[in-house]
Structure 1
Amino acid sequence: MIEWREEGVLLSVRPHGETSVIVEAFTRAHGRHLGVVRGGVSRKLAPVLQPGAQLDLRWKARLEDHMGAFTVEPVRGRAAAVLGDRLALSAMSSALALARFSLAERAAYPGFYDQTVALLDALAEGTGWLPAYLDWEMALLDQMGFGLDLSGCAVRGVNEDLTFVSPRTGRAVSRQAAGAWVDRLLPLPEVMLGGPAHLDGVLEGLTTTGHFLEHKLAPALGNRPPPEARARFIDVLSRAR
């Protein structure tokens, strides 16, 4: 029998038979992991098994390559805190869906796990989460091998007046170097360089990360389209302007 125990974020829940569910969780040491929770539809467990919840997870299986089974205990819930905030709820749904979409099963991403927990906590608290979400998407691209290089201009090497991102290389481009290519470049708002987190700037930043999610990451994962939850989040965020 193989067994481990640690905390994790609940990414998704789906029915399995009449009384059980299959949960997908993201943990620090064991990555994105699936398992059956017996009795998961019960009145005791159903309120606990809400996407975004922090859980104490114990996983058991006879063999390493089996799906295995989880027993769960609540650590803290987050769904109730965001239910009354459509924007935060859509951001949480987007983050959970992108994690499911992108992360390799059973591969550990310890630093990114910590950043995910911090983002979900910020969403539940309702403060400071908008730039944190953009940072999270940038970190996701970096984890997947498509990180942006914003350290200096790809053309001139300078780190001043960086205003654009090359859609091909993901490298920053200065205003002076953009020239006739300006209409083909992606925006690089100040917030992506540690500047003020204005809503319009965050939306511009998400336009840029969205390009790489759709045109770099998705093809690498077998041309599956990015999750619709992200598009819904962008729509809700755009309406909040």
Structure 2
Amino acid sequence: MHFRAEAIVVAVRPHGEHGAVVRALTAEHGLQPGYVRGGRSRAMRPVLQPASVVVGDWRARTEEQLAGLTVEPVHSRAPLFREPLPAAALEWACALTAAVLPDGQPYPRLHSALEGLLAAIEAAPAARGWAVALVRYELLLLAELGFGLDLEHCAATGRNDDLAYVSPRSGIAVSRVGAEGYESRLLPLPRFLTQGGAAEWEDILAGLRLTGHFLERDLLTGRAAEVLPARMRLIDRLMRAVA
């Protein structure tokens, strides 16, 4: 097994005294693990930082064997990890991707969306410039893995107007009329997810609560304790930024 591809580093785990097992997302080959000899060295740390882009060369004798991986830096986002809020966003986006995607299955839309999200975090002067993209990326992850939400019509009336809530059980939108009397049992649906346009912080946080519910229920079963602390750190820092 041998291939060479540009990839986004999403997880790095120490292995042995000096090496590291790296998981990186490629457009054509999906999420790919590989062992990088000397991956924990001072020279390699900024290259193998989650969210950085590399060109990787994977080689293994069999498909079942962990490939040996050599990398060449393309674009490092290591400097962003000195800033608490962007660091938390990069950490969560990469940790989530590494946790839920199966190895070796291509998801070109997710690869493109993740690169767009990471670039937005890097470029935007304030979190409001990338927080909407984060909500949309989480929704895309759910959809690509078979747990997409239906935000096109009301579960109660079948109509597609005045959608304001989502059923936490079915993941289907509910209109204000259809939700009457049951509002407290439903998740608010922020307008930017159905109508586009700018989003206020209240809507962004509602969007994150919405996606967080379904991520934890459908994609992070058995892994919530391992992954969700990164999301909690991000939400906490976003709340501080809003205050």
Q: Once the two structures are superposed, what CA deviation does each residue of 1:20-41 show, in whole Å capped at 9, x if it has no partner?
A: 2111111111111111111222
The alpha-carbon deviation at position 91 of structure 1 amounts to 1.0
Aligned to 2:116: 118
Are residues 43 and 217 of structure 1, via their aligned partners in 2, closer, same or farther at CA, if it must alter by over 3 Å? Answer: closer
Query: In the alignment, does 2:92 pair up with 1:94?
Result: yes
CA contact (8 A) 1:88 1:126 kept: no
Aligned to 2:28: 29
Are residues 88 and 204 of structure 1, via their aligned partners in 2, closer, same or farther at CA, if it must alter by over 3 Å? Answer: same
Letter in 1 for 2:175: S
Query: In the alignment, does 2:216 pair up with 1:217?
Result: no
The alpha-carbon deviation at position 144 of structure 1 amounts to 1.6
Letter in 1 for 2:57: R
Number of corresponding residues: 236
* Aligned counterpart for 1:109 among listed residues 104, 107, 110: 107
Q: Once the two structures are superposed, what CA deviation does each residue of 1:1-37 show, in whole Å capped at 9, x if it has no partner?
A: x200101111121222222211111111111111111
Name the SS for the 2:198 alignment partner: coil
Name the SS for the 2:239 alignment partner: helix
CA contact (8 A) 1:40 1:46 kept: yes
RMSD over aligned Cα atoms: 1.4
Unaligned runs of 5+ in 2: none
Name the SS for the 1:240 alignment partner: helix
Unaligned runs of 5+ in 1: none
The alpha-carbon deviation at position 230 of structure 1 amounts to 1.0
Distance in 2 between the 1:43 and 1:86 partners?
A: 22
Name the SS for the 2:202 alignment partner: helix
The alpha-carbon deviation at position 238 of structure 1 amounts to 1.7
Distance in 2 between the 1:162 and 1:208 partners?
A: 14
Aligned to 1:49: 48
Letter in 1 for 2:111: Y
Distance in 1 between the 2:83 and 2:101 partners?
A: 27
Aligned to 2:208: 206
The alpha-carbon deviation at position 84 of structure 1 amounts to 4.3
TM-score computed with the length of structure 1 as normaliser: 0.93
Distance in 1 between the 2:3 and 2:235 partners?
A: 37
Are residues 79 and 191 of structure 1, via their aligned partners in 2, closer, same or farther at CA, if it must alter by over 3 Å? Answer: farther
CA contact (8 A) 2:59 2:69 kept: yes
Distance in 1 between the 2:91 and 2:38 partners?
A: 25
TM-score computed with the length of structure 2 as normaliser: 0.92
Letter in 2 for 1:185: L
Name the SS for the 1:65 alignment partner: coil
CA contact (8 A) 2:46 2:76 kept: no
Q: What pairs up with 1:111-190 in 2 under 5 angstroms?
A: 111-126=109-124, 128-190=129-191
Name the SS for the 1:33 alignment partner: strand
CA contact (8 A) 1:190 1:196 kept: no
Are residues 132 and 214 of structure 1, via their aligned partners in 2, closer, same or farther at CA, if it must alter by over 3 Å? Answer: same
Aligned to 1:5: 4
The alpha-carbon deviation at position 196 of structure 1 amounts to 2.0
Identical columns (%): 44
CA contact (8 A) 1:78 1:121 kept: no
- The more displaced of 15-24 and 113-122 is 15-24
Letter in 2 for 1:56: V
Name the SS for the 1:206 alignment partner: helix
* Superposition misfits of 4+ residues, deviation over 6 angstroms: none
